[in-house]
Amino acid sequence: MGNVITFPIHRRRPHVALVWDWAWDQYRVEAVGIIAPAAVIEWHADYDVALAALLGMADRLALPPIDCTKNGRVA
């Protein structure tokens, strides 16, 4: 599907981000910098499921996927 861009990145361009949401204690996947019907916010408890959701949403929206979690920072 493509390479996941790891943190840090230029965050002004539209992208799909995977982040840890401290309020919900889950991973959040969301499109940033774009308004689209398919750009919904998703929460997942499992990192592997969240990563799959990140890649799927990025593929649907034709945007680069960016993993901003600690797992993504360790290459």
Does the pLDDT at position 45 exceed 50?
yes
**DSSP summary character for residue 8:** S
- For tokens 């929460």, what's the residue? 43
Name the residue with higher pLDDT: 35 or 39: 35
HSE of 35 in the Cβ direction (CA atoms, 13 Å)? 0
> Domain limits of the chain?
5-73
Grade residue 74 by pLDDT with cuts at 50, 70 and 90.
very low
Query: Do the Cβ atoms of 64 and 12 come closer than 8 Å?
Result: no
Q: Give the tokens for residue 23.
A: 């309020």
Distance of CA 42 to the CA centre of its chain: 9
